[in-house]
Structure 1
Amino acid sequence: MESAIPAHLETPRTRHKRVPDDYQPPYPSFVARYKPAVSRVVMAYFGIQYHGEAPTAATGALKEIAGLFAGVGGPSHWDRAHYVDQAGRENIVSVAYWDDVARFDAWFAPAREAWTGRVREDLGTFIEVLRPAVARHETLFSSPDRPEGVAVIADGMSGEVQEHAYWGGMRDRIPLSQADAMAPGGAPELIRDGARLRVKGHDNLCLIRSGQDWSDTEPSERKLYLDDVEPVLREGMDFLRDDGLAIGCYANRYMRVLAADSVSEKSYGQSWWKSLAALERWAESHPTHVKIFGAAMKYLSTLGPSAKLRLYHEVTVAAADEQFFEYLNCHPKTGMLAAVETVGA
């Protein structure tokens, strides 16, 4: 049994784990392992937004960002997903990952101007970037043989880890948690830059991407997931999208992954939180997540080890200077704009 925290990031603990040293989790889970030389990763969300049928500019923008990704300095991995937001707007988000911040910085300056530097007819664009130290980040996978998201750029997967299957495991897997409460500091601020709106985040803002992959399931398991679990998950995701601000969720997207211009059998929720503690409170005690957890446990106990559903997540608690949010021609509740007052913008 390994620790989720890699040996080179272990420090003397002043904050204790939620479980004793001899804790044995009830089922296996795994985490991504980066090469020790990787001190920072980048996760960058490039979104388009439109109402109704996709305007001509949408196709061009999606090709443009894919071309930029394929260019010099582009990401080691990227994927694309779709969702409909609380204002009824269609959003397509291309998410890219780097393990070299200098390479990203050289690539990003012209890419940013290409993406949010000019207005496209009937189309909004946005960029949301975190570039966290690896000590501020954790992942978790139900199986080690199919990485998703940021884990694709890692060196590989761990063996079975100890810190999971209990409330507080998410925090215990983040190396910084060994000696830091990671409490939020400050409040988001709006910065106007001509037509562009930037949001200056605050210290210890939290991002989670939490995914599901049912592409390997047999018909009976697929039906069980889509009939009994997915609707409950969607209900919780819709709550966070529409009413999450009151409990510390700035924005939530429940997205369906796109593959070769079709819809895959993968989805993920992606949300921005005021703090890891706010995310933990929702997960541990809010009725919407209690219901999700109950449906998932019933599903997994019914199927046992034969379950083919794959689950994963990545969680980051970012310092204020590790964040970048910029929006052009988007509605005022898009992403982190929901966290600030944009009247008159």
Structure 2
Amino acid sequence: MESAIPTHLQCPRLRHRRVPDDYVPPYPATVARYRAEVTRVVMGYFGIQHRADAPAPALAARALHCITKAFAAANGPGHWDRAQCVDQAGYLNTITIGYWDNPAAYAAWFAEHGERWASGAFNEPGLGLFTEVLQPAADRFETLFSSDGIEGVAGVSAGLGEPIQEHAYWGGMRDRLALSQTDGMSPAGAPKVVTEGLHQRVLPHENLCLIRSGQDWTGTQGDERRMYTEEVEPVLRTGMDFLQHQGRQVDCYANRYMSVVDAAGKPMDKSFGMGWWRSLAALERWAESHPTHVAIFGAAMKYLGTMGPAAQLKLYHEVTVATAAEQYFEYFNCHPRTGMLGAAG
């Protein structure tokens, strides 16, 4: 086994891990490995929204075409995907997500293509647009994979490494973050909204946490597919619905349970939860003790215990704890509970 924290980011620990040095996890998992010269990545969420119970505004398809074309332009992301969800206000949100391993390339691309996305370029009644971007330093995000499938920010990595030690225990998420060696990553401040007409910016606080946690059941068949779709997914959906509608009770600012679609909008057998949290500690408390996540964990363990090593379900997540300077939130004509707008409401 190797440590989840790459050698070039390791340093003398001022804060202890949750497990002893001789801990052996009960099953293997891996993390994405990045070239040592990658000191920062960019996660760019470019979304549109409109009422789910009404025809899409005329500019919606054009906006999606434009972001797809922009991603293929010079300095575009090294990896991207698209997903949809209906939010708590009944709006369909379609989000195109780009990942960069070069902040300078992203800055050049954003100035050319991204800056106008949520600034009124697609101004039409009933159509909202938003940009949510994190640019975490390498010691402020971590990944975890149950298989060799590459998703999310791992798409701009050098690939997956060998099995790691820091997983399969409460606290492993924090222990995989290189910054946890020396810093508790406590939040400070509160988000604020600056409004100018239909345009809104959210001024964030320190150590905001984002998790993208996904499932891929493409390879499942027969009893395994039935067990996932009938016994596991409904429990997962209940937990995601709780966070979407009542997440503020546990310091989750906003949560989206996303269905992955291809470039043509066709649903795939993939999903992920995307949650903005006040802090890593708040996410940890929910994961360790809240009934909704305890139920998710129990259903997943029953599933994996039944299927054993032959299980074809692929699981992954990425977790980021970002400084205020590493965050950017911009909304145009969006309803007041969209993303981080709800955090400041």
TM-score normalized with structure 1 length: 0.97
| 2:40 is aligned with 1:37 | no
Task: Show the counterpart of 1:120.
Answer: 124
Q: RMSD between aligned alpha carbons? A: 0.9
- CA–CA separation in structure 2 for the residues paired with 1:22 and 1:183: 28
Matches within 5 A, 1:49-88: 49-51=49-51, 52-88=54-90
After TM superposition, give the deviation of residue 109 of structure 1 in Å.
Answer: 2.3
Q: Which amino acid aligns with 2:172?
A: G
Task: Show the counterpart of 1:228.
Answer: 231
- CA–CA separation in structure 2 for the residues paired with 1:53 and 1:17: 52
What is the CA deviation profile of residues 265-300 of structure 1, one whole-angstrom value per residue up to 9, with x for unaligned ones?
A: 000000100000000000000000000000110111
What is the CA deviation profile of residues 92-120 of structure 1, one whole-angstrom value per residue up to 9, with x for unaligned ones?
A: 00000000001111111232343112123
| 2:188 is aligned with 1:185 | yes
Partners of 1:57 and 1:121 within 8 A in 2:
no
- CA–CA separation in structure 2 for the residues paired with 1:153 and 1:219: 34
- CA–CA separation in structure 1 for the residues paired with 2:115 and 2:75: 16
| 2:287 is aligned with 1:283 | yes
- CA–CA separation in structure 1 for the residues paired with 2:173 and 2:251: 17
Task: Show the counterpart of 1:317.
Answer: 321
Q: Which amino acid aligns with 2:93?
A: N
| 2:24 is aligned with 1:24 | yes
| 2:151 is aligned with 1:142 | no
% same residue: 61
Task: Show the counterpart of 1:14.
Answer: 14
Task: Show the counterpart of 2:199.
Answer: 196
Partners of 1:201 and 1:320 within 8 A in 2:
yes
Partners of 1:57 and 1:122 within 8 A in 2:
no
After TM superposition, give the deviation of residue 202 of structure 1 in Å.
Answer: 0.6
Task: Show the counterpart of 1:161.
Answer: 164
Task: Show the counterpart of 1:109.
Answer: 111
After TM superposition, give the deviation of residue 193 of structure 1 in Å.
Answer: 3.4
After TM superposition, give the deviation of residue 53 of structure 1 in Å.
Answer: 2.2
After TM superposition, give the deviation of residue 66 of structure 1 in Å.
Answer: 0.5
Unaligned runs of 5+ in 2: none
- CA–CA separation in structure 2 for the residues paired with 1:336 and 1:32: 27
Q: Which amino acid aligns with 1:316?
A: T
Matches within 5 A, 1:91-106: 91-106=93-108
Greater mean alpha carbon deviation, residues 120-129 or residues 282-291: 120-129
Count how many residue pairs are aligned between Structure 1 and Structure 2.
340
Task: Show the counterpart of 1:332.
Answer: 336
Partners of 2:46 and 2:97 within 8 A in 1:
yes
Unaligned runs of 5+ in 1: none
Partners of 2:57 and 2:124 within 8 A in 1:
no
4+ residue runs over 2 A deviation: 109-114
- CA–CA separation in structure 1 for the residues paired with 2:277 and 2:173: 14
TM-score normalized with structure 2 length: 0.97
Partners of 2:257 and 2:271 within 8 A in 1:
yes
Partners of 2:78 and 2:99 within 8 A in 1:
yes
- CA–CA separation in structure 1 for the residues paired with 2:3 and 2:98: 28
What is the CA deviation profile of residues 225-280 of structure 1, one whole-angstrom value per residue up to 9, with x for unaligned ones?
A: 00000000000000000000121100000000001321000000001000000000
